[in-house]
């Protein structure tokens, strides 16, 4: 079956531009997560949705980062006025239910490079 | 706050060698513990998990046991193959929150 799909796979933007990253979770998955992975590091949590509700955004590094999941399916992570330190791989994951012991299924990520 | 510490890599072994990748954690309460693997050119995949103390997770010949007394979840495999070359991440999720907290990853290379 289809896994988590992210687009674009690669994004290059100039400093100061706005970018939007898309995530299509596995159909029927209630929970959706965004993570940021710097080169050579483990992923770091950004934000969490349960259906359309954003229940945790404690990991968003600044108010330039905004995420939404308006219909409880597709999600978009938007970064405004990008900075060089925003360069990273952005990972989306989904899980079937609401329990913390349920595995998360990851997409291949979007590699963002800010020039 | 919660955190995960993995042994630093890279780790290079010969085929059929015994593998251990150490992982220790700090958490409030009793988290669920996971090992994820990232093969070259692929996304993160769940390798195994354990949800309570003394549970053993296993998959593809890999094993890890949830040790509450030492707050550890070390990954082991008795005989590694070239195809096991990948980056391995230890992670936890707290009972009160679904988000995963990852270690920094350990790059494993197996030589034929």
Chain B hits for A89, Cβ within 8 Å: none
The three-class DSSP label of residue A31 is strand
Show which of residues 61-90 on chain A sit within 8 Å of chain B, judged by CB atoms.
none
Q: Which of B36, B98, B102 has its CB closest to that of A100?
A: B98
Q: Are A3 and A89 in contact (CB under 8 A)?
A: no
Beta strands in B1-112 (DSSP E): 3-6, 11-14, 19-21, 23-26, 32-38, 44-50, 56-59, 62-65, 75-77, 86-93, 100-102, 106-111
Among candidate residues A42, A16, A33, the one with its CA nearest the CA of residue A75: A33
Inter-chain contact B98–A108, Cβ cutoff 8 Å? Answer: no
- Give yes or no for B98 touching A (CB within 8 A): yes
Per-residue pLDDT of chain B (112 residues; tens, 9 = 90+): 899 999 888 999 999 999 999 999 999 888 999 999 999 888 899 999 999 999 999 999 999 999 999 999 999 999 999 999 999 999 999 777 789 999 999 999 999 9
pLDDT in tens, A12-61: 999 999 999 999 999 999 999 999 999 989 999 999 999 999 999 999 99
Inter-chain contact B42–A108, Cβ cutoff 8 Å? Answer: yes
Residue B28's pLDDT is what?
83
pLDDT in tens, A66-100: 999 999 999 999 999 999 999 999 999 999 987 87
Q: Residue A1 — very low, low, confident or very high, per pLDDT cuts 50/70/90?
A: low
Rounded alpha-carbon distances, angstroms, from residue A22 to A31, A85, B103 = 15, 20, 26
Q: Which of A4, A91, A100 has its CB closest to that of B95?
A: A100
Among candidate residues B92, B87, B63, the one with its CA nearest the CA of residue B4: B92
């Amino acid at each position: 079956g289809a896994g988590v799909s992210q687009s674009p796979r690669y994004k290059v933007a100039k400093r100061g531009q706005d970018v939007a990253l898309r995530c299509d979770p596995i159909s029927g998955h209630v929970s959706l997560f965004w993570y940021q992975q710097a080169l050579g590091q483990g992923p770091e949590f950004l934000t969490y949705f349960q259906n359309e509700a954003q229940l945790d955004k404690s990991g968003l590094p600044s108010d330039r980062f905004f995420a939404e999941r308006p219909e409880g399916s597709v999600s978009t992570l938007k970064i405004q006025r990008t900075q060089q330190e925003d360069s990273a791989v952005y990972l989306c994951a989904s899980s079937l239910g609401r329990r913390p012991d349920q595995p998360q299924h990851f997409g291949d990520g979007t590699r963002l490079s800010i020039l | 706050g919660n955190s995960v510490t993995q042994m630093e890599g890279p780790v290079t072994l010969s085929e059929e060698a015994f593998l251990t990748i150490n992982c220790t954690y700090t958490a409030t309460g009793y988290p669920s513990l996971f090992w994820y693997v990232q093969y070259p050119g692929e996304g993160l995949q769940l390798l195994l998990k354990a949800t309570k103390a003394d549970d053993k997770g296993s998959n593809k010949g890999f094993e890890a046991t949830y040790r509450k007394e030492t707050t550890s979840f070390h990954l082991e495999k008795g005989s590694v193959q070239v195809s096991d070359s990948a980056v391995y991440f230890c992670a936890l999720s707290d009972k009160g929150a679904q988000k995963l907290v990852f270690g920094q990853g350990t790059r494993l290379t197996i030589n034929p």
